[in-house]
Structure 1
């Protein structure tokens, strides 16, 4: 899109989403929906309740495409999942925290330190996401008592989900960092921002 800055002068404005970001949203949104609709999960959460793999697509889409793309992917994941749209705000908390700090983590030169910080960032984002689910199940839906939730979630389920959210994205971050480079900007960043430094 072009807008006139002064007579005879045109200023190129960058669209909010690039072609790369749109492609990421479509691809990972489709994968997330397919996994939910086909119920591709890991058993062992609760009787009749499995660990879903949406955290992989949440993390990768946010790393590669930024907060808007991550929000779109988790919206699709939510509406096609068992919980429904009521789960979207919880996922969105994770997306925003991850997007806020991931570019800085990506720029860390030392691979062990970069992966350690990425693990810490994933753990913190998941921790804050978890409080949405605890509040939802304990005080809104009233399915599981609050104290029982704390024991179940942070004593067991949180750590399984941390592996799900972290493992595959971390492997890509370590082996093909250019693939997960944060070449995106926040919506209010109007000016062209430099691309993240390429990692060897």
Structure 2
């Protein structure tokens, strides 16, 4: 998948890493205990896609020459690395999400997400195009362990998903985006 003798993705693979949910971009760690969680439910993101996501992020990071322990470049006037859509992290993360989506035939959205139908909150959701499902991801905290957990998001009585996403625009301003849709053959329709 990656054949580049100039740039190498360096990562530490461990299990039950404190304060890490799946991967840590800055410290270049993959938590296998979290990776295993993705395969407990047969839809949404798979464990192999989660591993490839983390490896692609680190490969992209290596192309900047960013050392372990650094988040790379970002405009500090935008706030943190997540608010600057042109930060090294956001660019590397976007490339990793593309690979992950290709592996699992999903479409991932990340942010502070609420299922308006149920009131449940998620850190991301996937449209699983193969299984025609919408899957929400929550982050479970047990002590200093963060573990991802998948839940199939249900439609309302008319067959609609109704999701709201809190995110930041390109200037770092908060915005709320609402999406009400049905799925047909794994694709959202109005």
Structure with greater helix share of residues: 1
Structure with greater strand share of residues: 2
Q: Do both proteins adopt the same fold according to a TM-score greater than 0.5, normalized to the shorter chain? A: no
Normalising to structure 1: TM-score of the pair? Answer: 0.32
* Greater RCO (CA < 8 Å, at least 6 residues apart): 1
Normalising to structure 2: TM-score of the pair? Answer: 0.34
